Amino acid sequence: YTGAAETEGVYFKRYVPVKLRSDYDKRSGSLHNSHEFKHRSLWANLASVIVVLSVVVTSVYSLIHNMDLFRSPIDLEPDEISKLDYTQHRWQRVTDNKLPDLPSVLAKMNMKGFIVPYNNKSIDSLFNGVNLRQHALKHWRNFAKRNRLYIKHCRWKNLIKCQRLFKDGIILVPPGYWDFELLDFVLTNGANVIAYGPPAQLFSVAKDKAIQWHGLTFEEVLKKESGGLILRGDQLLTLGFDAGLILKASSPFDGFRAISASPQAVSIGNIYDASGENETRLFAKTIGSGRLVWMDFAPDPKDHNPEINVKHLNALNASIFRYLSRQIYTDIAMWPQAKHFAALIEEDTEDQFDNARAVVDLINKKNYPISWYILSNLALKHRQLTQDMSKIGEIACHGDHHGIFTKSSRQDQVIRIARCQRVLTEITGVKPLAFRPPEEEHNDSTIDAIVNNGMTHYIANNTPDRAVPEIQVSLVSRKSLVSIPRMVSDDYEMWHTRNLNYTNTISLIDEEITWMSHIGGLYMYSFHTQFMNSPDNLNAIEHLGDKLKQLDAYFATSKNIADWWHFRTALQRNEGVTEEQFSRFNPILLSVSEEGQLVRTPYRVSKK
């Protein structure tokens, strides 16, 4: 039977007699409808199962993902709060441990005054109607009078004769005509020379020319408003000084600038951040058997604003004369293994906490050192992520919530930090030893609360007077803290205030890293989870980490930075240290030799 196309393919067809075909077609249709019904029911049941499974899987995932919301809260018990330490402290900065003393240096050296060369060209040299020479001599007369030093004037042509007459004198060259050929001769033959300000020849040559002399380049420029100077660490004249120490000493002279590849100090603006005009303010070089110092700041406190730090100014003067007197002096290199500078990156893990997952993945891939400053109220909702963070970096407190600490009472600040510590310790098994207050806002009560909770370091100072950490000691308990500064832009300034794109972000990062590595200080970059939902921002962090790993930097967590600073200070103050610390940090001793060269040797402890 080949009829009844509607039955074709439904079942096996066979021959049916003609008189039975009508009955056969009825039964065939019934069977066909029954088969279609079963087929549709099967698909409907399968769809229902899929929907149910999807709901179950989604619910289970949501339950697992939000399981922290259903866990027991972690908090301080009333008896724990009653046992907290609420001591009120008085703090003292422990800085400037190795600064040279000006009277002591002058007493040790065979130097009683200055020989000042001149000729008629010097006397007549003016800049914008100002006699720079007379302006400069006033500064040095003040300094000489204060320190009981003589000043003898001598014509350039008689300079060698004057040297023989005044063997205890240093040649002082103020602005005016400079006889470079004669200066080179006396330097090569052992003279000590202090050059101050610009040579008059600079203002008489063609405008597109500059004067170059022993690594210094003098250029005629219209200066911007002068700020201060900032010292480079671990240099001939800066041993004993903290890298990045800022002195509010403006340039006494307009109309020029000096630049060099190896300055002792450079210019810095009135806003103390990682920027400058690459202007040299202090320079030193050994030439033959002689020594040259060039400087662009007045030596006497009388010629500065009252805000000048007289102790630092006198110490810098002492360092200049110490170098010229050929005294041997030493200090411990600023960073472990005498690295050029140090660096740390830290994340404020707060709003949009989940964004930290991408950073965790990046750190796992790249193995950067990182410090996580975490809000404990949000860590409670993301316990597994917090645990993952603790496995690859330093866990530290950012607070129990993002409320400003200065708005909390003295007692509440202690409790808030203790609560953050308690939560993070229970989640990660590691007790946080560092604190960074929300929005960097803090007061004396905050510092008290940090040390009262047994912490060792904190990050809060964004207006420092130096580019390295400092130690603060309680005069009440003798406990100490390391304060870690920030002198570079953070992500908020880059991506919120200035709205920089990726290209401009990495350009600024590169510029500030280069500047800080030149200074020899600490590059500390801070970023927040709120900005980590952007691939460009995450890529910028990767660029930053890769660059720091390529440079000669001590790239470490804030704990390691603080531990090193405690250790280095203890060495400077001849306090007890351990063999474990020596093997961990490998400190280097820097010395300026009698030949005027910077020498590096491993630091050795003398055994008694």
Residues 374 and 254 in one domain: no
Cβ burial, residue 326 (10 Å; 0-12/13-18/19+):
middle
Rg (CA), the chain: 36
- Of 109 and 357, more confident: 357
Task: Confirm whether 7 is domain-assigned.
Answer: no
Residue with tokens 């009277």: 103
Task: Confirm whether 14 is domain-assigned.
Answer: no
How many C-beta atoms lie closer than 10 Å to residue 39's C-beta?
10
**What is the model's pLDDT at position 62?**
47
**What is the model's pLDDT at position 149?**
97
- Phi, psi angles (nearest 5°) of residue 394: -80, 130
Fill in the amino acid letter for 420: C
Residue 2 has pLDDT above 70, yes or no: no
Of the residues 557, 573, 593, the one at which a domain ends: 557
Pairing mode, if any, of strands 341-349 and 522-528?
parallel
Residues 149 and 203 in one domain: yes
Residues 310 and 354 in one domain: no
CA angle, residues 538, 350, 394, in degrees to nearest 5: 75
Residues 153 and 223 in one domain: yes
Residues 433 and 529 in one domain: yes
Q: Residue 63 is inside which H or E element, if any? A: helix 21-65
Residues 183 and 306 in one domain: yes
User: Tokens for 186?
Assistant: 């006396």
State in Å, rounded, how far the first CA of the chain is from the last one. Answer: 118
**What CATH number is associated with residue 212?**
3.40.50
Q: Give residue-wise pLDDT tens across range 195-252.
A: 999 998 888 766 667 999 999 999 988 765 567 999 999 999 999 999 999 999 999 9
Task: Confirm whether 416 is domain-assigned.
Answer: yes
Residues 318 and 362 in one domain: no
Q: What is the mean pLDDT of the chain?
A: 89
- Of 65 and 19, more confident: 19
Pairing mode, if any, of strands 192-196 and 169-173?
parallel
Task: Confirm whether 332 is domain-assigned.
Answer: no
Contacts of 177 (CB under 8 A, 6+ apart): 118, 119, 121, 122, 125, 156, 199, 200, 201
Residue range(s) defining the domain that contains residue 315: 102-327
Q: Which of 212-226, 424-438, 490-504, 589-603 has the lowest mean pLDDT?
A: 212-226
User: Tokens for 170?
Assistant: 């240093």
Residue 114 has pLDDT above 60, yes or no: yes
Q: How confident is the model at residue 412 (pLDDT cuts 50, 70, 90)?
A: very high
Q: Where are the beta strands (DSSP E) in 28-140?
A: 91-94, 113-118
Residue 337 has pLDDT above 70, yes or no: yes
**What CATH number is associated with residue 474?**
3.20.20.370
CA–CA distance, 144 with 164 (Å, rounded to integer): 21
- Of 431 and 200, more confident: 431
**What is the model's pLDDT at position 410?**
97
Q: How confident is the model at residue 33 (pLDDT cuts 50, 70, 90)?
A: low
Residues 290 and 322 in one domain: yes
Task: Confirm whether 338 is domain-assigned.
Answer: no
Residue 511 has pLDDT above 90, yes or no: yes
Residues 322 and 351 in one domain: no
**What is the model's pLDDT at position 127?**
56
Residue 219 contacts residue 203 (beta carbons within 8 Å): no
User: Tokens for 27?
Assistant: 């039964």
**What is the model's pLDDT at position 68?**
63
Of the residues 270, 294, 327, the one at which a domain ends: 327
Task: Confirm whether 523 is domain-assigned.
Answer: yes
Residue 24 has pLDDT above 70, yes or no: no
Task: Confirm whether 144 is domain-assigned.
Answer: yes
Residues 318 and 348 in one domain: no
Residues 422 and 545 in one domain: yes
User: Under DSSP, is residue 477 helix (H, G, I), strand (E, B) or coil?
Assistant: coil
Average pLDDT over residues 558-580: 95
Q: Give residue-wise pLDDT tens across range 261-305.
A: 999 999 997 655 565 557 999 999 999 999 999 999 999 999 999
Average pLDDT over residues 114-130: 71
Task: Confirm whether 585 is domain-assigned.
Answer: no
Number of domains in the chain: 2
Could you give the percent of the chain with pLDDT greater than 90?
76
Of the residues 557, 584, 603, the one at which a domain ends: 557
- Of 543 and 223, more confident: 543
User: Tokens for 52?
Assistant: 């149910």
Residues 298 and 365 in one domain: no
**What is the model's pLDDT at position 66?**
57
